[in-house]
Amino acid sequence: MNRKEISQLLANSTFVCQNCSCEFTPTRRTSKFCSRACGDVVRKRKYRKTDKGKEQLKSENLKRVESKREWARSQPSYVHLARCRKYQCQKQSLTPNLSTIELMMIQNYYEDAALLSKQTGIPHEVDHIIPLSKCGWHHPFNLRVVTRDVNRSKGARI
């Protein structure tokens, strides 16, 4: 076969990538992967199985961990912000799917707290009976209206 016949054969055929199993039209007759990235993944996987690859991987991981720790020590405000965001995501994942009646009940709690604050002059807040940090839900049956002092003194305790 000459080059022209090989290129025509390649243009009319599709191969299956050995990494991601997608079909592709090869650019060379020795192509085994749909892209350079897929080839790199397989080559790295083979290299990591060798002793030299395992040692290099351990040293890379140690360097990465140490650089993360060093960054965390130098940027405490960002670390605090990241922890807060993580907590907020966990809190959102604990919120169940609420019906419209339950959402109205929650809204009523907040309205009652505002009304009591206005009538008595003592600030009131909506309190979670089982705190969100202790896996409590933001659900009407886990809410109550209390004064701000009571809520702040309770903190995250049950």
- Number of domains observed in the structure of the chain: 2
Domain assignment present for residue 31? The answer is: yes
> What domain range includes position 32?
3-74
Question: Which burial class, exposed, middle or buried, applies to 110 when counting CB atoms under 10 A from its CB (0-12, 13-18, 19+)?
Answer: middle
Domain end, chosen from 59, 74, 89, is at 74
Question: pTM of the predicted model, to two decimals?
Answer: 0.44
- Centre a 10 Å sphere on the Cβ of residue 77 and count the other Cβ atoms it contains: 7
Q: Are residues 16 and 67 in the same domain?
A: yes
d(CA 17, CA 25): 10
pLDDT in tens, 47-106: 667 777 777 777 888 888 888 888 888 888 888 888 887 777 766 666 678 889 999 999
Q: Are residues 53 and 105 in the same domain?
A: no
Domain assignment present for residue 81? The answer is: no
d(CA 89, CA 103): 20
Contact (CB, 8 A) for 92 and 135: no
